[in-house]
Every structure is written in C-alpha cells, then in structure tokens.
Amino acid sequence: MPDITFIHPDGRSDRVESSDGESAMQAATRHGLDGILAECGGNAMCATCHVYVDESWLPRLPAIADDEDALLDGTAAERRPNSRLSCQITITSELDGLVLRLPKRQI
C-alpha cells in the first residue's frame, strides 16, 4: 500500500497509508488528518484540499486539468508553482512515498 507523508505548516508530519486508486485527499480524511477540509467531497469544487507537492515529486504527477487549474486560483493560502488539489491526485504504487505539504489555511 502506498504511503503518503503530509507535512504540517509547523513541521509536524503524518504518514498515512493509502490504497491504489483513492485520492490523496481521501487517504488524508480517512485518517482524520487535520489540514485537509475537502468540503466538496472531492468534486473539484471547493479548493479546501490544497497541498504543496514536494518538488521532487512534481514530475511524477499527472498534468493539472483545466478545472483544477481554475480552482487553484481561489485557494485561501497563496498558490505556488507546486500547488495541487489533493482530491485530484490519484494514488498509484508509483507514488509510494509521496510528500505533500499542507498550507497554513484552507478557508
């Protein structure tokens, strides 16, 4: 099972186990991780699942779709070049060890 490490703004980290095919957001919320709100339940409508992808992992993620790109312009915390919506990151075994940093706020 692929592991994802979420790093909080204060430096704490949480390593969660995910399943092939679920989103990074689903793995986070299933483990009760604070810092991911996911108000729309993963429908790419809220931008409260914003994460900063560790730079070393960026090339391994699929390209940003137009709807994700548009939503990322409305995140509560600043958008950066490595910003993604965690509900749009589908976990596969190739992403085992993925590192995602949480923004200071989601709303």
Question: Is 11 or 75 the residue whose CB approaches ligand FES more closely?
Answer: 75
For residue 88, the minimal CB distance to ligand FES (Å) is: 7
Choice between 33 and 40, CB closer to ligand FES: 40
Q: Give Cα separations from 76 to 3, 8, 19, 37, 56 (angstroms).
A: 27, 16, 28, 12, 24
Residues 33-92 touching ligand FES, rule: CB under 6 A, are: 38-40, 42, 44-49, 71, 85, 87
Q: Which residue lies nearer to ligand FES by CB, 11 or 41? A: 41
Query: C-beta of 87: minimal distance to ligand FES in Å?
Result: 3
Most distant CA atoms of the chain, gap in Å: 32
- Judged by CB under 6 A, how many residues of this single chain contact ligand FES? 14
- Binding residues (CB under 6 A) for ligand FES: these are 25, 38-40, 42, 44-49, 71, 85, 87
